[in-house]
Every structure is written in structure tokens, then in C-alpha cells.
């Protein structure tokens, strides 16, 4: 059994993938070929957001968003410590300071009440919360495991304090909150097409989304070394952040069946939740009213029994599991300089000790799910 099965999907659409790749080989426009704009248009329409800018990875999408919003040294960027390294890495990379805010224990997404506390404290330069006086500038909420963060409250807070919002939608492309899709939130949204993400290509890829024409123009410039209107006069400092034409061609084939795959993921998740909700030694994911997750991961919290016991029992039956994330970012060596310590974000730290994820993908069979649940049930 596989944690994420990409082979079954490939079998389904192999002809279309092959045809799309052959088209690229025939026209030879490997850099910024016509498939890029076609994909941008289709995904912008799906998300219902005016501008889409393809780029080289989810990490580049976040980096380009920060550059477009002119975030830099002296600026505070508020984000979750319970996420993949890339979210906070790009903040530090451009010389701004990540300010971590603990998560909600049910959704694992940034806690809006704590976010407002941290922003208010930064306004009064309360240095007990971070090492130096900073200018609060931006919030990067993460849609963890495919579930949108609480943008209603986060966007209200951002407006109140005059901050930008960048949606880290690397795990949530296809998710919804009351008919509004992931990547339609914040000033800029950033998603990833890493193969294991809900919409993945066959390598690295990503995309920025924005409703603002000026930001879209800045992102298109930043994507190609900050190019300006004259070929040899660059307007700003940017990156080499283009999406490959071949990856766009693969994504066009995959996107044809993507809406159906989102439904298959949601059916598989509902089945897990139904079969596992009686288990007293674990807590299944809680999805608040009005939200539809795209289930990048199906993550469970263990209570009263060791996570290791579950993982070992599953492994004995060749069922793979994973831990997202075993170490919150504030405790990682890379962020040592920020001066955080163990105990600073108790909800994130607790989740990192008790969480684990079980196989999740659109082609998970009922038979496999029953097998997984039967093993888990021996420990309930
Ligand atoms: C995967 C991921 C990224 C980075 O995406 P890449 O395409 O791998 O660069 C950023 N943030 C989160 C939350 C992710 O899961």
C-alpha cells in the first residue's frame, strides 16, 4: 500500500499526458511556452481570482509574494510554527522576521485570537514576544492539511491593523469555504504543484494568485529577474522563478480530472472519519461548519496511547504513515536566532508529539481503508 498513489492517476490519463508532452517537444518553447498562459487562465477561472502567475515552486510563490509586497528587513511577518519549513524560511531569507503564533487545537491552523494578541503586542513593541522592535507588515496563514484557515477573522484583523495577507495554499488547492475556493484569499495566495500536493506535477511547480492588477504585474516581473519594460533595464531585483512549460503541460492533463479527484478525496476522508470516530484513543480531524477540506493529509491525534504503537502496528501490515510535523519551526535549529524556547507554543508542541497521518489520495479503495482501520481499531 502507498501513502500517496500517483501511479493509478497516471494510468487513467496517460494518453493525455503523453500527448501534451509531445506537443511541447514539437513546438520547443520550453521556457514560457503557450501551456503556461493556458494553465494560468484555467486555474484563475477555477479559483475565481483575476490573475494567476505560474512559478517554479510553492516556495518561490511565497518568496515572490513577499517581494511583491515589499516585505523586508525590520518587518514582522506573523505565521504558524506548525507548518512546513518553507513558510517561514522565505520570511527569514528576505531579511524579515518570522513572528510565530500558536495554532487552534482542532483545525491546526493559526489561532486568530492569538494572532491579534501578537499583533497588538508588536504595536506596543513588547519585546517579550520577539527579539527586537519590528514593523508589523504581513500575515501568512497556512491552510494546513488542505483545510482553509479562518480568513473571515484573519482578514478583519489584517484590515484593522493595516497588514498584508499571503495565503499559504500549498496544501489546499481545491478546498473551499462557503463557495469561495482556496487561493482566493489574502492579497496574494501561493500554491504548490509538488507531486504529492492535491494538484501535483512531475517535478517542482507553483502558482501565485491575486485580484490586484498591480501586484500581478509585479509578480510577473519578479518571476523573471525583475524584468522591466525595456529588455536590458530591469525594474527590480527578482528571481529565476518560472514554471517549466513541460510541467504546465502535465498539469493541464491532470487538471481535467481534478474536480472529480477532490470529490474522491472527500469521500475517502468521510469514510475514515465514520470508521474511526468511535475510537477513544484518537481524535479524528474536525472540520468546522462551512469548510470543505481537500485532504492533503488525513491527520489523527492520539490520546492515551503512544503514537509509536499505532505506527508500528500499521507498519507490520505494510501500511505507511507519516508525521507532519514532528518539530515545530520555533524549535528548529534554523530559527535558533529568533530566541524561542520549548513551551512558547504549547498547542503546536503538543500536536507535534501526538499527530500522525495515514494514507490519503483519490484512489484509496474501501478495501484498503477497512484494512487500515482494522489495524487501528486493535489499539482503540
Ligand atoms: C509544500 C509546501 C510548501 C512549499 O512548496 P514547494 O512546492 O515544495 O516549494 C510551502 N508551504 C507549505 C505549507 C507546504 O506544504
Going from the Cα of 303 to the center of ligand 1, the distance in angstroms, rounded, reads 29
Write phi, then psi, for 203 (nearest 5 degrees). 165, -145
CA distance 366 to 168: 31
> How high is the pLDDT of residue 132?
64
170 CB near ligand 1 (under 6 Å):
yes
CA distance 121 to 316: 49
Tell which atom from ligand 1 comes closest to the C-alpha of 142.
Answer: 13
Going from the Cα of 184 to the center of ligand 1, the distance in angstroms, rounded, reads 17
CA distance 273 to 38: 37
CA triple 183-154-349, angle to 5 deg: 95
Q: Which three cell numbers stand for residue 93?
A: 531569507
Contact status, residue 30 vs residue 24, Cβ threshold 8 Å: yes
Going from the Cα of 380 to the center of ligand 1, the distance in angstroms, rounded, reads 33
- The pTM for the full model equals 0.97
Contact status, residue 57 vs residue 208, Cβ threshold 8 Å: no
CA distance 169 to 262: 15
65 CB near ligand 1 (under 6 Å):
no
Going from the Cα of 252 to the center of ligand 1, the distance in angstroms, rounded, reads 20
Nearest CA to ligand 1 atom 14: 170
321 CB near ligand 1 (under 6 Å):
no
Largest alpha-carbon pair distance within the chain? 67
| Domains located in the chain, CATH noted | 6-101+109-255 (3.40.640.10), 259-377 (3.90.1150.10)
Q: What is the pLDDT of residues 26-54, one digit of tens each?
A: 999 999 999 999 999 999 999 999 999 99
Q: What is the pLDDT of residues 78-100, one digit of tens each?
A: 999 999 999 999 999 999 999 99
- Give the least confident one: 15-19, 188-192, 244-248, 274-278: 274-278
79 CB near ligand 1 (under 6 Å):
no
Q: What is the pLDDT of residues 335-372, one digit of tens each?
A: 999 999 999 999 999 999 999 999 999 999 999 999 99
Tell me the three state secondary structure of residue 69: coil
Peptide bond into 368 cis (omega under 30): no
166 CB near ligand 1 (under 6 Å):
no
Nearest CA to ligand 1 atom 5: 58
Q: What is the pLDDT of residues 278-325, one digit of tens each?
A: 999 999 999 999 999 999 999 999 998 999 999 999 999 999 999 999
Task: State the helix-helix crossing angle for 307-316 and 366-377, rounded to 10 degrees.
Answer: 130
192 CB near ligand 1 (under 6 Å):
yes
Tell me the three state secondary structure of residue 264: helix
Going from the Cα of 334 to the center of ligand 1, the distance in angstroms, rounded, reads 17
* Size of the chain in residues: 380
CA distance 103 to 111: 5
Going from the Cα of 172 to the center of ligand 1, the distance in angstroms, rounded, reads 11
Amino acid at each position: 500500500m502507498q501513502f500517496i498513489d500517483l501511479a493509478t492517476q497516471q494510468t487513467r490519463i496517460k494518453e493525455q499526458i503523453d500527448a501534451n508532452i509531445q506537443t511541447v517537444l514539437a513546438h520547443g518553447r520550453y521556457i514560457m511556452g503557450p501551456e503556461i498562459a493556458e494553465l494560468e487562465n484555467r486555474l484563475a477561472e477555477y479559483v475565481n481570482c483575476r490573475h494567476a502567475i505560474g512559478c517554479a515552486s510553492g516556495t518561490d510563490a511565497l518568496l515572490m509574494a513577499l517581494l511583491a509586497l515589499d516585505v523586508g528587513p525590520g518587518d514582522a511577518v506573523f505565521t504558524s510554527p506548525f507548518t512546513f519549513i518553507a513558510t517561514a524560511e522565505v520570511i527569514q531569507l528576505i531579511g524579515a522576521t518570522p513572528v510565530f503564533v500558536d495554532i487552534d487545537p482542532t483545525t491546526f491552523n493559526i489561532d486568530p485570537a492569538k494572532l491579534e494578541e501578537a499583533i497588538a503586542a508588536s504595536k506596543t513593541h513588547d519585546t517579550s514576544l520577539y527579539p527586537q522592535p519590528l514593523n508589523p507588515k504581513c500575515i501568512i496563514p497556512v491552510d494546513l492539511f488542505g483545510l482553509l484557515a479562518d480568513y473571515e477573522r484573519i482578514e478583519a484583523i489584517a484590515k484593522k491593523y493595516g497588514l498584508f495577507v499571503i495565503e499559504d495554499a500549498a496544501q489546499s488547492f481545491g478546498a473551499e469555504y462557503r463557495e469561495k475556493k482556496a487561493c482566493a484569499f489574502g492579497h496574494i495566495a501561493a500554491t504548490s504543484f509538488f507531486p504529492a500536493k492535491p494538484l501535483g506535477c512531475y517535478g517542482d511547480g507553483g502558482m501565485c494568485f491575486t485580484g490586484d492588477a498591480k501586484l500581478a504585474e509585479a509578480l510577473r516581473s519578479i518571476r523573471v529577474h525583475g524584468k522591466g519594460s525595456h529588455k536590458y533595464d530591469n525594474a527590480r531585483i527578482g528571481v529565476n522563478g518560472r514554471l517549466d512549460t513541460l510541467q504546465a503541460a502535465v498539469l493541464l492533463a491532470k487538471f481535467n480530472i481534478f474536480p472529480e479527484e477532490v470529490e474522491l478525496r472527500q469521500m475517502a476522508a468521510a469514510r475514515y472519519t465514520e470508521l474511526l470516530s468511535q475510537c477513544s484513543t484518537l481524535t479524528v480531524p474536525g472540520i468546522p461548519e462551512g469548510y470543505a477540506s481537500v485532504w492533503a493529509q488525513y491527520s489523527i491525534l492520539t490520546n492515551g496511547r503512544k503514537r509509536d504503537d499505532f505506527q508500528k502496528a500499521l507498519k507490520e501490515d505494510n501500511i505507511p504513515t507519516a508525521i507532519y510535523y514532528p518539530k515545530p519551526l520555533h524549535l528548529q535549529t534554523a530559527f535558533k536566532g529568533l530566541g524561542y524556547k520549548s513551551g512558547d507554543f504549547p498547542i503546536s508542541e503538543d500536536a507535534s508529539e501526538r499527530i500522525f497521518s495515514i494514507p490519503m489520495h483519490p484512489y484509496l479503495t474501501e478495501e484498503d481503508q477497512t484494512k487500515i482501520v482494522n489495524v487501528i481499531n486493535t489499539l482503540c
